[in-house]
Amino acid sequence: MSNSAAPHSILSIDQITKVYYDELTQLARKNRRMSNSHLKKRTTLLFNKNLSTVNISGMFSQKVFVGGAPPGISDTEILNAFGKYGNFTIEKKKANEKSSFFYVIYESNQCVKGLLTTCVINSVGEFYTRIGTHIVQVIPWEINNSHYVPATNMTLLDNKKVVFIGGLHGKMTAKFIAEVFSYFGPIVMVTIDVDKYKYPIGSGRVAFSDSQGYFTAIMQEFIDIETPDFRKTVQVTPQLEDSLCYICKSEVGPFFCKDFTCYQYYCTLCWKLKHSGPGYVHHQPLIRDSKHKPKLGPILSKFSNLSLK
C-alpha cells in the first residue's frame, strides 16, 4: 500500500478571489436584510402639519396610485371607473394576489388632470373617487416634486456628502424630505428616484453642504418620521459610487466599509487583508444596490376608453 497522500488541489488567485467575493457579497446582502428589521433606538421627527396640496395646473406623472380598493376588484370595474379619462394600463402587485391597491397608467398628463378634476378633495387636499359603490383614494405625483434645491443654497454639490435614503412614503416630496434632513445640517439638494413614468419608487438622495450634516445623518441609520397622515421609517446609508480600491488603487472597490475608522472602498483581496486584523473583523461591507425599479410586477392588462361605448 502506498503511503503517499492524495494530492490536494491548489486554488489559483482568481479562484480564491472569487470565493472571497461571493462570501463578502452574501454578507453584505445579509446585513442589509438584518438592518431592515433592526429594532435599535432611533431618531423620531414629528411634523404636525399636512403635506403640501397638489397643484392641478402642474405636470403629473402618467402613473397614479389607487388605494383602498376592495380586494379582488375586477379589471372591468377598474375600466368603468377610470376609462372615461383616457386609455390606460393597470399595474398590480401579482396576477394571482388580491390587493387593495394598484396603479393606473394613462397615456398622458392630461388624462390624469381629467381624473383629478372629477375627484372629491378633502380638507387636507387628498383626492377620492368611486369604483362602483366603493370610495378609493387617488394619489397622483407632480413631477416637480421629485427635485428640490433650497432658494438660500449657495453651495456646490459634493458627491462625498450625499446620502442614499430608502423606504420613502408615496406622499413625501423632495421639499418635505429637505425639511426633514435639515434637522441634521444645511441641505444642497434632494432628488427622489422615479421609474420610467416619473413616479417615485421609494428611494432618493440628500446632498448636504458640509461634512458634519452628512455624518450626523449617516450615524442615524434609521429615522422615524411622523405626520398627521402617516408614520414611516426611512433608512439612511452612504451614497455608493464606482471607485477604485483605497489600498491597491488598481482594482475596482465594490465593497464599502462605513465604520468611521475606515470609511473607504476596497477590492476583494484588500478587504480581506485590511479586515482580518484585530479591531476590524466586526466591520461590515456595503455594496451598491442597483435595483432602482418599481417593486410591483409587470403591467397586466391594457384598456381603451373606446370599449366604454
pLDDT digits (tens, 9 = 90+) for 185-194: 999 999 999 9
pLDDT band for 306, please (50, 70, 90 cuts): very low
The dihedral over CA atoms of 139, 142, 146, 147, expressed in degrees to the nearest 10, equals -150
Question: Do 47-51+144-238 and 63-141 come out as alike in CATH topology?
Answer: yes
CA 123, 124, 127: angle at the middle one, nearest 5? 90
Task: Decide: helix, strand or coil at residue 149.
Answer: coil
Is residue 60 predicted with pLDDT exceeding 80? Answer: yes
Q: What is the mean pLDDT of the chain?
A: 85
Stretch 164-191: mean pLDDT, rounded? 94
Per residue in 110-161, pLDDT (tens digit) is: 999 999 999 999 988 899 999 989 999 999 999 999 999 998 877 788 999 9
Topology at the third CATH level for domain 16-38+241-286: 30s Ribosomal Protein S18 (4.10.640)
Measured CA to CA, the distance from residue 267 to residue 246 in angstroms comes to: 8
Class of the CATH domain delimited by 63-141: alpha beta
Topology at the third CATH level for domain 47-51+144-238: Alpha-Beta Plaits (3.30.70)
Residue 252: what pLDDT? 93
Measured CA to CA, the distance from residue 39 to residue 222 in angstroms comes to: 10
Per residue in 254-269, pLDDT (tens digit) is: 999 999 999 999 999 9
Helix (H) or strand (E) holding 31: helix 13-36
Strand ranges, E, within the chain: 43-46, 63-67, 88-91, 101-106, 120-121, 127-131, 134-139, 147-148, 162-166, 187-194, 200-208, 222-226, 231-238, 255-257, 264-266, 285-286, 299-303
Per residue in 275-295, pLDDT (tens digit) is: 988 889 889 899 986 554 333
Is residue 184 predicted with pLDDT exceeding 80? Answer: yes
Is residue 297 predicted with pLDDT exceeding 80? Answer: no
- Positive or negative CA dihedral for 287, 43, 172, 34? positive
- Positive or negative CA dihedral for 267, 167, 74, 109? negative
Is residue 53 predicted with pLDDT exceeding 80? Answer: no
Residue 107: what pLDDT? 96
Q: Domain residue spans in the chain?
A: 16-38+241-286, 47-51+144-238, 63-141
What is the pTM for the complete model shown? 0.80
Residue 7: what pLDDT? 54
Cβ proximity of 204 and 191 under 8 Å: yes
